[in-house]
């Protein structure tokens, strides 16, 4: 009897993710390489007896940006014969970067220092947020709203065998923030996380308890006799 899971997937490569530019509201498509990243991830992890069984996914929450929408469509193309319910939500849009849209971290820090900011420490998005963009609290609040929705879906199925897995498709900063909030940490909690373009992470609960949200740092795969 599997514990409900939440799969967090970052969109495939874009021109700006390749160069490291902050991409919030700028709506750019996947590169050719990004498309292949997503397709290959789907081939490897989606299917009966694989990491992500589409028959157990009851809902997908997707960022409205086209790079996330393209990723979802390509990724779920591997889900033959199964249609996943899709909810496009602003809760999963990327951090609103404001003045920092399209910039690199080093350039943001240099520009802030030129304006007399950050004299005692370097700028950190998780602590300082973005000028004319979102604060950590604003981001945290919308992530908490989504987490509440997910737990409402999963809570009735913590001790039965009914499908209750959730898929999220979004962006690098917002998904790393989601993991922090899933675990109950503030966004400025020093938890270094990486999520590659086209990559998938897995969240769940320890002891089948809503009070013990967890990250799966080691995955077990079904035995052959269990999926035949």
**Binding-site entries:** 23-24, 67, 94-97
Structure tokens at 44: 């490897």
Cβ atoms of 213 and 6 within 8 Å: the answer is no
Cβ atoms of 102 and 23 within 8 Å: the answer is yes
Chain centroid to CA 134: how far?
A: 18
State the maximum Cα–Cα separation within the chain, in Å, rounded to a whole number: 64
Residue from 78, 94, 101, 134 carrying the catalytic annotation: 94
Percentages helix, strand, coil for the chain (3-state, rounded to 5) are 40, 15, 45
Strand partners, 57: 165
Question: Binding-site residues for substrate, please?
Answer: 23-24, 67, 94-97
Residue 19 CA to residue 10 CA, distance in Å, equals 16
Chain centroid to CA 55: how far?
A: 20
* Residue 114 designated active-site: no
* Residue 11 designated active-site: yes
User: What amino acid positions are annotated as catalytic residues?
Assistant: 11, 94
């Amino acid at each position: 009897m599997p514990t409900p899971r939440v799969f967090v997937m970052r969109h495939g490569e874009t021109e700006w993710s390749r160069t490291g530019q902050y991409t919030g509201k700028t709506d750019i498509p996947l590169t050719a390489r990004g498309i292949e990243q997503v397709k290959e991830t789907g081939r490897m992890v989606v299917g009966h007896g694989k990491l992500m069984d589409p028959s157990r996914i009851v809902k997908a929450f997707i960022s409205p940006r086209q790079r996330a929408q393209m990723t979802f469509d390509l990724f779920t193309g591997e889900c033959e014969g199964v249609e996943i319910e899709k909810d496009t939500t602003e809760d999963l849009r990327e951090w609103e970067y404001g003045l920092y849209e399209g910039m690199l971290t080093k350039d943001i820090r240099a520009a802030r220092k030129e304006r007399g900011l950050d004299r005692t420490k370097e700028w950190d998005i998780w602590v300082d947020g973005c000028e004319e963009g979102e604060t950590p609290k604003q981001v945290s609040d919308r992530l908490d709203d989504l987490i509440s929705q997910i737990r409402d879906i999963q809570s009735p199925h913590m001790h039965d065998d009914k499908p209750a897995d959730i898929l999220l498709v979004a962006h690098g900063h917002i998904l790393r923030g989601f993991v922090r909030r899933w675990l109950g940490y503030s966004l400025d909690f020093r938890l270094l996380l990486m999520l590659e373009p086209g990559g998938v992470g897995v969240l769940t609960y320890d002891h089948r308890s809503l009070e013990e949200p967890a990250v799966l740092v080691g995955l077990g795969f079904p035995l052959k006799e269990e999926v035949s």
